Amino acid sequence: MGSGGKRKSNDTVRINRPIKRDSGTGTGGGGNGGGGGGRPRDINVMCPPAFEVGIKPPKSYPDGTLVTVKKDELLVQGESVGKLSEKQLEMMIECGGEGIQYTGKVVNKGNKAYARFEQRV
Amino acid sequence: MHASSKGSDDDSQQSLFSLACDAAEFAPHVHPDELRSVRHSCAGRGRRDVVTCQDEYRDEFVEEVGTLDMSVIDLKGVTFPLDTFLPVVPHGMFDRDASEIPYPVVGVMLNDILTKRVSTRHDYYYLPEDTDIDTGVLNRSIFTGKRVILLTCGQDILIETMWWKRHELELFKKIGSIGFLAVTGMNFSIFSGECPFSHALNTMKGLRYCETLDQLGVWAVPHIYAINAPQRERWKDLLNARPHIRLVTINTQLQRTRKRDIRELIQTVEHLLENTRVSILLHGRGIGLSPRAKKAYVSRLHYAASGPLKSAVIRKDKSPSEYIQIFVSRLTAAL
């Protein structure tokens, strides 16, 4: 992307482990996550820098209010505001296994509210 | 994260992170002085943006490029006379008439030759997983009768993903088959304050990209980022050892406002001009270079930019040719 003293904050990437090509099996080595053989997974697809989940809080919370996750439940100040889908929950668990964790915060857009999860640096 | 990255890589003030950096293991391909500028932890980074000296898989990354020794790289270094200005054709002009751009040689960006381009998702750049190289891109009308240089520059997510998937995508074979006049090296990022191992690794990735294309008979133009004196010296040594490499390129698109970044860029450009025989294709802006340097090295400085043609597409108040004329007259005003 560039050089200098400051990266662009919207251009972030996790560097994937190199794909080994010497096995001759075509299964590929290296790669990331998931375990086993098969095509290595792109960590940036597997664990996006950010994602959002629609929530329905009983009252409105200001932008930036912390969202916590308990199993698949989303909590704001101890109150349940929604759930992660099965796919999202699976993703958070898999990414956690890769050392990637997310922080959730409330984001209001018009009359809708979202839990926005971003990777912790 | 970025608050501590304000220092220049040539500053002498040392941070605690520099004391914990292990990149000196890679001397002489990393100079001990480079460690002094480390301002982020090399541990626990999770390969976010860079691979550091303390990454558990760092040896796999070194193995991938073979060595961090730049001197093993050789390129044929074909030459072709370039105008002072190289107009870079934006995607929005691909179906326009070639006569609208009064230049025989034009540039095109990597992102613009993909079947699906980089977009944003939740405020971050994102590259669609099923993207591919459009090998028919030069059949678009704007390129009729023109020689085209592929500028392999772009966002980190684009560059790093294309590199990682290069075998799966048959990247080199496809790029080599398109018929570009030349292809520039990938601009793997080099930011001050980050682990110098990552700098050396990224430099080698860019060179290996060029080398592989070169082996396929493509004129590959090395891309240079150098943000401190040892890095400038290594590039100087490589170019003097390979005098047949007559053209290099530097992407300057990020050097817009930060004075320190512009100063580093100028130092690199002037160091190469004064100590080697290469010509330099500056991709982005030519700002900051002294009129003296511009004049002294006029025949060795070339400028690539998409700004004029993008202005023509977006504003529509002047022709592409008129916008190019304005841009070029600014570039040459100091001469």
What residue ranges of chain B have pLDDT lower than 70?
Answer: 1-13, 255-257, 286-287, 334-335
Q: What is the distance in angstroms between the Cα of A11 and the nearest Cα belonging to chain B?
A: 6
Measure Cα distances from A90 to A17, A33, B19, B82, B92 in Å: 22, 12, 39, 53, 40
Q: Are A1 and B254 within 8 A, CB to CB?
A: yes
DSSP A1: -
Instruction: Report yes or no: A16 at the B interface, CB cutoff 8 Å.
Output: yes
- Asked if the bond preceding B128 is cis, omega within 30° of 0, the reply is no
Q: How far apart are CA B275 and CA B282, in angstroms?
A: 17
Nearest CB to B190 within list A3, A19, A43: A3
Q: How far apart are CA A16 and CA B157, in angstroms?
A: 11
Residue type, B186: M
Residue type, B286: G
For residue A51, the chain B residues in CB contact (below 8 A) are: 122
- Cβ separation A11–B156 shorter than 8 A: yes
β-strand partners of A54: A114
Q: How far apart are CA A17 and CA B61, in angstroms?
A: 7
Q: What is the distance in angstroms between the Cα of B190 and the nearest Cα belonging to chain A?
A: 5
Helix, strand, coil percent content, chain A, rounded in steps of 5: 15, 30, 55
> Which secondary structure element, helix H or strand E, spans residue A83, and what is its range?
strand A79-83
Q: How far apart are CA B145 and CA B128, in angstroms?
A: 31
Q: How far apart are CA A64 and CA A113, in angstroms?
A: 11
pLDDT (tens, 9 = 90+) of chain A, 121 residues, equals 677 777 888 999 999 999 987 644 433 345 565 444 577 899 999 999 999 999 999 999 999 999 999 999 999 999 999 999 999 999 999 999 999 999 999 999 999 999 999 998 7
Residues in A 48-77 with any Cβ partner in B closer than 8 A: 48-52
β-strand partners of B184: B221
At B119, list the tokens. Answer: 């977009």
- Which residue on chain A is closest to B224 by alpha carbon? A3
pLDDT at B4: 34
Q: Are A86 and A53 within 8 A, CB to CB?
A: no
Q: A108-113: long-range contacts (C-beta < 8 A, 24 or more apart)?
A: A108/A60, A108/A61, A108/A62, A108/A63, A112/A54, A113/A54, A113/A55, A113/A56, A113/A57, A113/A60, A113/A61, A113/A81
Question: What is the ipTM for the molecules in this complex?
Answer: 0.90
Phi first, then psi: what are they for B200, rounded to 5°? -65, -40
> Which secondary structure element, helix H or strand E, spans residue A87, and what is its range?
helix A86-97
Say which residue the tokens 């002047």 belong to.
B318
Q: Per residue, what are the HEC states of chain B?
A: CCCCCCCCCCCCCCCHHHHHCCHHHHCCCCCHHHHCCCCCCCCCCCCECCCCCCCCCHHHHHHHHCCCCHHHCCCCCCCCCCCCEEEECCHHHCCCCHHHCCCCEEEEEHHHHECCCCEEECCEEECCCCCCECCCHHHCHHHCCCEEEEECCCCHHHHHHHHHCHHHHCHHHHHHHHCCCEEECCCCCEECCCCHHHHHHHHHHHHHHHHHHHHCCCCEECECCCCCHHHHHHHHHHHHHCCCCCEEEEECCCCCCCHHHHHHHHHHHHHHHHHCCCEEEEECCCCCCCHHHHHHCHHHEEEEECHHHHHHHHHCCCCHHHHHHHHHHHHHCCC
For residue B261, the chain A residues in CB contact (below 8 A) are: 3-6
Nearest CB to B46 within list A9, A14, A116: A14
Pairing between β-strand A102-109 and β-strand A112-119 as defined by DSSP bridges:
antiparallel
Q: What is the distance in angstroms between the Cα of A69 and the nearest Cα belonging to chain B?
A: 20
The residue of B6, B110, B116, B124 whose CB has the most chain A CBs within 10 angstroms, and thus the best one to mutate to test that interface, is B124
At a CB cut-off of 8 Å and minimum separation 6, what does A112 contact? A54
Nearest CB to B258 within list A1, A6, A49: A6
Q: Are B164 and B124 within 8 A, CB to CB?
A: no
pLDDT at B82: 93
pLDDT at B287: 66
